[in-house]
Chain A
Amino acid sequence: MMMDYVWLIPLFPFVGFLINGLLGKNLPKNVVGTIGSVAVGLSFLVTVCIFAQVLKLPPEARHVEKVVFTWIASGPLQVQAAFLIDPLSLIMLLIVSGVSTLIHIYSVSYMHDDDGFYRFFTYLNLFVAMMLILVSANNFLLMFVGWEGVGLCSYLLIGYYYEKQSASDAGKKAFVVNRIGDFGFLLGMFLIFWTFGSLNFKEVFALASKYPVGSGVITVITLFLFIGATGKSAQIPLYTWLPDAMEGPTPVSALIHAATMVTAGVYMVARCSALYSLAPISLTVVAIIGALTAIFAATIGMAQFDIKRVLAYSTVSQLGYMFLACGVGAYISGIFHLMTHAFFKALLFLGSGSVMHGLSGELDMRKMGGLKKEMPITYWTFLLATLAIAGIFPFAGFFSKDEILFHSLVDGKAIYWGIATAAAFITAFYMFRAVFMTFHGESRVDHHVAHHVHESPPLMTVPLMILAGLSVVGGFVGMPLIEGAHVFRNFLSPAITPVAHHAAAHPTAAFEIFMMVFSMAVAGLGIYTAYKMYILFPDLPTAICDKFRTIYDLVYHKYYVDEIYDTVVVEPIKEGSNILWNVVDAKGVDGVVNGSAGIIAYLSAHLRKLETGFVQNYAFAILLGVVVITGYLIGR
């Protein structure tokens, strides 16, 4: 049975990580790249084999756990290093290993002139190994290992160009913000253990099903877990790290910050559908946060000029859609969108990387334009992906996004649908704005760059074309309307616990078709607006911006959220630390002595310190402690 070898899936990239990490420095770049790509490719191969086998099993038997060893055996707490093979983890494994393979191949060419080539592939392989652990773990703790691991790799890769201050700052920010999310995850995990006495998915979900809908403890657990999800999947209020994460190399943005790692939160919510379905309050929170993030990030995306930042905010916004889907109980639609998004967003990022490659690293769309002719493959694949994300039939994004819009109305509230539809309009607008600014119109490329604009080599364009193919046909696994044709849903549903109260309203096919046409019309309107503003009347945007200067500034500066966080959270902690140190805690003398004059000054400072009685101060603190503790114990 191939399934017995499921542990090979994360092992291959891990071995790649070890080889490249230990020996990579002395290996030629081609070898390093090949090792990295082949390692991930092998994981994909194993996943496909297992997938083929699982398809042969009857749907109810598609849940297999393979224990490698027992990690923590502590009386009641039994945690295994074990893998879970079920439809949900298989879909995730396929997406992660498949997209990763393509991005690895692309990177061999993209990163070829980089000095840290081996370092890049080392981190990338470690990331893939961790991500594969995250999605295939059979318990919360092992999932958390992957969860932390991908955070660590993401941090290393964002700060990859560490000579740049902004890059290392961005890496740090990503890590710290993610840790805030992880804190929620950890607490959720402790509560799960406290409540159910287990961390194994199957056991926890089985025990949870005995709880009533709306049970307090499950609501708290799911809310804590969702804090974790907002950190990893860049939702309000913890989304700020993702746009900054664009400081990393572009393949990293494509792989980690668009296609895979950031979807971990969505995966986790879907994985815990058995818990979320019991907590209506949490679901409402998930839906609201998702919807708000979708529109909030989309509006910011309208005013950015850095092509990667546009894509970054678009990612945040699309992740919002996925959470909205989960929040209204349409977990499968959320995962469906996760998959199609992985295809077209990876493609968009790789496409923007190809543009950067052709333009010697230019990111500002104001210095692009008219690239259609020089970079035909990049242009056409980018256009296909844009059509997909805008939700135009029959591209992949149409099916998944339409499903989410549909469910947000039918299973949720009209307001969710309204917000999501507005966000869809904005998405279509700013994505085509990007296309028009980059590829159409007059060239605004700098002179010294202009004469060597070129299409990227095949090693980069072939992955683009494969992803473009997937962005076109990827949606057909989720055919609406026709009974039984939604193979994606049929495959996934055994792994998902639906929300109980549904199934009452079953809208007619006519209504469904009307909804589709409507959302298409909205997308079309967005595209037309962009066309009007950036092709027909290129002066219009400036005029509009001038007219609504305040609003524009607000949006352009991303609503000043970073500044607010800095003033409200970051600075007070730094200040507090200094105050605590200086005032509450005695401040000592830092630093190393320089020269003999320094020594004397130093000695005197210290001797004086001894004489004027710091020790007495310390003793006084002890005495104070004594008084307070005795007073408390005896006096109460």
Chain B
Amino acid sequence: MTLNIPSFNLASIGPWITLSIFAIAILLADALSPKGNRTAAPLLALAGLAVAGFQTISLWGKNGLDFARMVYVDNFSLFFYMVFILGTALTVLISLQYLKDYGKNLAEYYALLLFATVGMMLMAAGAHLIMIFLGLEVMSIAVYVLAGLFREDARSNEAALKYLVLGAFASAFLLFGMAMLYGAAGGTLFLNDLPGRLTAGFKPLTLLAIALLVVGFGFKVASVPFHMWTPDVYEGAPTSVTAFMAVGVKTAAFAAFARVFFLAFPTLMPDWTMVLWVLAVATMTLGNVVAIAQTNIKRMLAYSSIAHAGYLLVALVAANQLGAVSLMYYLLAYTLMNLGAFGVVILVGRKKDSYLSIYDYAGLGAQHPALAAAMALFMFALAGIPPTAGFVGKFYIFSAAVKAGYIWLAIIGVMNSVVSVYYYLRITVLMYMKPAEADLGPINFAPAVTATLLLTAAGVVLIGVFPGFLYNLALNSVKIFPGL
């Protein structure tokens, strides 16, 4: 008997290994260190992310498969690695003081963040549907726990439970879809092989599989009608976790969504683009319109994130190179502006989320001009006003839709972004044009959060004014999709 060990190169999954080791190290360090001393955990997390980032950069330019064709090592996944690393690192920075105020600055929090990041990377790099599913679960389970971090808080519990129950429900659909696909393709789930194996005879089965995959991914990106968990979970979860979910989870799901659909089903494009067209319109519209009625800032941002899922779906519908590029650019821009906005929410919320109503932003412009200016910038960026990254991203997305011939979709998208101005602007109006109703007390400008705000604000402007570099990186990455 010969044992056949496929050749593999550990460096191909270097970032995963690094983050996993650091996550375990964080847990061990916590177990061994004297009780109450938790300064090491966030530092270790940041160090791990830095190393992983360095490894990702050194892998840049590689183009191939590894681990028995299970893992892509290509620029598409590496680009997303960088977005995940950035998102997680910024989440760590905004979490520190926030968790301390709650007495929850736990080492496992940071370990779970890193594990979730590994899951996201698996999703972006998976070359086999099972790998993607594995990544999805690794990520999701970590995030379920994170959402319920505040065990004593009913809302946090509720968030975790809802997310878990519905997440399991959606995962089942995803898995079921993969099973169908396995049957339709005659026993393979390799993304590279699927287009050749999906014969016309099994088209109904394939379409069924596609429908179920749309459900699974649609749930994770918070698309209508699979979005209903989002406001409750976003509101209930700790704010730093909400930020992480809004950027990281969504980005990872879109990375896998795009990879699977662009790579595996190019011939069925007319079928699935129509479905996504409808989902995109419904998602954008519902998210934006309902956001207008919200008075809790976290709920408002939850609906805003639903609306953004709609815009991103437009990029998928376009299904051309510019569409894929715009998806990548926008996800990075969205990570920056959303984390910035959540950073402000954490600061304004003061101790233990005391102030989450949008009316608590009244008079902020006079009391804390710099903080208000930053929030205004993030709001304008989310609304898509030039020259911020949000504008350039929307411009790319809608250009892609127009280029692909979806003029009406672009019109609806632009109309939606007009509607969205209303609620983003309301925050600005409150900050600058309404006097504070009461003195809410001082804001504790924790250095890490301040640094995050500076970084994200600078990033939002910088990649808005100079998007060329990122565009080229993204363009370089989407060459892997022959169908576009």
**Are A and B a genuine interacting pair, yes or no?**
yes
Q: Are A585 and B166 in contact (CB under 8 A)?
A: no
CB distance from B1 to the nearest CB of A (A): 46
**Which of B162, B385, B434 meets A168, CB within 8 Å?**
B434
B402: A residues at CB distance < 8 A: 190-191, 193-194
**Which of A186, A581, A618 meets B290, CB within 8 Å?**
A581
Instruction: Please tell me if A544 contacts chain B, counting CB pairs below 8 Å.
Output: no
**Which of B155, B218, B271, B414 meets A187, CB within 8 Å?**
B414
Q: A72-B392, A72-B471 are in contact. Are A145 and B387 (CB under 8 A)?
A: yes
Q: A72-B392, A74-B396, A190-B402 are in contact. Are A630 and B433 (CB under 8 A)?
A: no
Q: A171-B433, A186-B414, A633-B271 are in contact. Are A75 and B425 (CB under 8 A)?
A: no
Instruction: Please tell me if A547 contacts chain B, counting CB pairs below 8 Å.
Output: no
Instruction: Please tell me if B228 contacts chain A, counting CB pairs below 8 Å.
Output: yes
Which one of B53-61, B209-217, B248-256 contacts A?
B209-217
Instruction: Please tell me if A610 contacts chain B, counting CB pairs below 8 Å.
Output: yes
Q: Are B398 and A190 in contact (CB under 8 A)?
A: yes
Q: Are B293 and A577 in contact (CB under 8 A)?
A: yes
Chain A residues 145-168 with CB under 8 Å of chain B are 145, 148-149, 152, 156, 159, 162-163, 167-168
CB distance from B300 to the nearest CB of A (A): 10
Q: A176-B422, A632-B275 are in contact. Are A156 and B432 (CB under 8 A)?
A: yes
Chain A residues 577-592 with CB under 8 Å of chain B are 577-578, 580-581, 584-586, 588, 590-592
| C-alpha gap A186/B357 in the complex (Å) | 33
Contact with A along B407-430 (1 / 0, CB 8 A): 100110011011101100100010
Contact with A along B72-105 (1 / 0, CB 8 A): 0000000000000000000000000000000000
Contact with A along B105-139 (1 / 0, CB 8 A): 00000000000000000000000000000000000
CB distance from A440 to the nearest CB of B (A): 39
| C-alpha gap A391/B235 in the complex (Å) | 62
Q: Are A74 and B429 in contact (CB under 8 A)?
A: no
| C-alpha gap A168/B362 in the complex (Å) | 13
Q: Are A586 and B208 in contact (CB under 8 A)?
A: no
Instruction: Please tell me if A393 contacts chain B, counting CB pairs below 8 Å.
Output: no
Nearest B residue to A161, CB-CB: B433
A72: B residues at CB distance < 8 A: 392, 395, 467-468, 471
Q: Are B158 and A606 in contact (CB under 8 A)?
A: yes
Contact with A along B324-337 (1 / 0, CB 8 A): 01000000000000
Q: A74-B475, A618-B162 are in contact. Are A633 and B154 (CB under 8 A)?
A: no
Instruction: Please tell me if A477 contacts chain B, counting CB pairs below 8 Å.
Output: no
B356: A residues at CB distance < 8 A: 592
| C-alpha gap A624/B295 in the complex (Å) | 29
Instruction: Please tell me if A535 contacts chain B, counting CB pairs below 8 Å.
Output: no
| C-alpha gap A453/B439 in the complex (Å) | 41
Instruction: Please tell me if A545 contacts chain B, counting CB pairs below 8 Å.
Output: no
Q: A152-B385, A159-B433, A585-B228 are in contact. Are A75 and B475 (CB under 8 A)?
A: yes
Chain B residues 242-275 with CB under 8 Å of chain A are 271-272, 274-275
Q: Are B386 and A148 in contact (CB under 8 A)?
A: yes
Chain B residues 467-483 with CB under 8 Å of chain A are 467-468, 471-472, 475
A528: B residues at CB distance < 8 A: none
Instruction: Please tell me if A622 contacts chain B, counting CB pairs below 8 Å.
Output: yes
Q: A74-B396, A176-B422, A590-B295 are in contact. Are A629 and B211 (CB under 8 A)?
A: yes
Q: Are B173 and A626 in contact (CB under 8 A)?
A: yes
Instruction: Please tell me if B161 contacts chain A, counting CB pairs below 8 Å.
Output: yes
CB < 8 Å A-B pair total = 188
Instruction: Please tell me if B354 contacts chain A, counting CB pairs below 8 Å.
Output: yes
Q: Are A622 and B403 in contact (CB under 8 A)?
A: no
Instruction: Please tell me if A567 contacts chain B, counting CB pairs below 8 Å.
Output: no
**Which of A186, A585, A615 meets B165, CB within 8 Å?**
A615
A171: B residues at CB distance < 8 A: 429, 433
Instruction: Please tell me if A179 contacts chain B, counting CB pairs below 8 Å.
Output: yes
Instruction: Please tell me if A182 contacts chain B, counting CB pairs below 8 Å.
Output: yes
Instruction: Please tell me if A462 contacts chain B, counting CB pairs below 8 Å.
Output: no
A190: B residues at CB distance < 8 A: 398-399, 402, 410, 414
A77: B residues at CB distance < 8 A: 399
Chain B residues 356-404 with CB under 8 Å of chain A are 356-357, 380, 385-387, 392, 395-396, 398-399, 402-403
Instruction: Please tell me if A144 contacts chain B, counting CB pairs below 8 Å.
Output: yes
Contact with B along A590-624 (1 / 0, CB 8 A): 11100000000011001101100011011101101
**Which of B294, B321, B325, B432 meets A159, CB within 8 Å?**
B432
Instruction: Please tell me if A216 contacts chain B, counting CB pairs below 8 Å.
Output: no
A163: B residues at CB distance < 8 A: 435
A141: B residues at CB distance < 8 A: 386, 395
Q: Are B226 and A162 in contact (CB under 8 A)?
A: no
**Which of A144, A175, A193, A622 meets B386, CB within 8 Å?**
A144
CB distance from B360 to the nearest CB of A (A): 9
Nearest A residue to B354, CB-CB: A592
Q: Are B225 and A621 in contact (CB under 8 A)?
A: yes
Q: Are B471 and A592 in contact (CB under 8 A)?
A: no
Q: Are A624 and B225 in contact (CB under 8 A)?
A: yes
Q: How large is the interface on B (under 10, 10 to 19, 20 to 34, 35 or more residues)?
A: 35 or more
Q: Are B289 and A580 in contact (CB under 8 A)?
A: yes
Instruction: Please tell me if B204 contacts chain A, counting CB pairs below 8 Å.
Output: yes
Q: A183-B415, A187-B410 are in contact. Are A590 and B165 (CB under 8 A)?
A: no
**Which of A152, A172, A591 meets B296, CB within 8 Å?**
A591
CB distance from B237 to the nearest CB of A (A): 13
Instruction: Please tell me if A376 contacts chain B, counting CB pairs below 8 Å.
Output: no
**Which of A175, A591, A632, A634 meets B425, CB within 8 Å?**
A175
A609: B residues at CB distance < 8 A: 158
**Which of B225, B232, B471 meets A74, CB within 8 Å?**
B471
CB distance from B128 to the nearest CB of A (A): 24
Most chain-B Cβ atoms within 10 A of its Cβ — which of A149, A172, A574, A588? A588
A485: B residues at CB distance < 8 A: none
Instruction: Please tell me if B207 contacts chain A, counting CB pairs below 8 Å.
Output: yes
Instruction: Please tell me if A71 contacts chain B, counting CB pairs below 8 Å.
Output: yes
| C-alpha gap A585/B434 in the complex (Å) | 30
Instruction: Please tell me if B231 contacts chain A, counting CB pairs below 8 Å.
Output: yes
Nearest B residue to A74, CB-CB: B471
| C-alpha gap A614/B162 in the complex (Å) | 9
Instruction: Please tell me if A538 contacts chain B, counting CB pairs below 8 Å.
Output: no
| C-alpha gap A618/B229 in the complex (Å) | 7
Nearest B residue to A70, CB-CB: B468
Q: Are B286 and A584 in contact (CB under 8 A)?
A: yes
| C-alpha gap A168/B433 in the complex (Å) | 6
Q: Are A622 and B418 in contact (CB under 8 A)?
A: no
| C-alpha gap A194/B402 in the complex (Å) | 7
Instruction: Please tell me if A52 contacts chain B, counting CB pairs below 8 Å.
Output: no
CB distance from A131 to the nearest CB of B (A): 15
B395: A residues at CB distance < 8 A: 72, 141
Q: A70-B468, A156-B432, A577-B290 are in contact. Are A625 and B226 (CB under 8 A)?
A: yes
A606: B residues at CB distance < 8 A: 154-155, 158
CB distance from A124 to the nearest CB of B (A): 16
B219: A residues at CB distance < 8 A: 622
Instruction: Please tell me if B436 contacts chain A, counting CB pairs below 8 Å.
Output: no
Nearest A residue to B215, CB-CB: A626
Instruction: Please tell me if A543 contacts chain B, counting CB pairs below 8 Å.
Output: no
CB distance from A20 to the nearest CB of B (A): 13
Instruction: Please tell me if B169 contacts chain A, counting CB pairs below 8 Å.
Output: yes
B208: A residues at CB distance < 8 A: 630, 633-634
The 7 closest A-B pairs by CB, nearest first: A162-B433, A168-B433, A618-B228, A630-B211, A633-B207, A625-B225, A577-B292
**Given A72-B392, A171-B429, A574-B292, 12 more contacts at CB 8 Å?**
A162-B432, A163-B435, A168-B434, A576-B289, A577-B293, A590-B296, A617-B228, A618-B162, A618-B229, A625-B225, A630-B207, A633-B210
- Return 19 A-B CB contacts under 8 Å, by A number: A73-B472, A74-B467, A148-B385, A152-B385, A176-B421, A190-B402, A193-B399, A581-B293, A581-B294, A585-B286, A590-B299, A602-B154, A606-B158, A615-B165, A617-B228, A618-B162, A622-B219, A625-B218, A626-B212
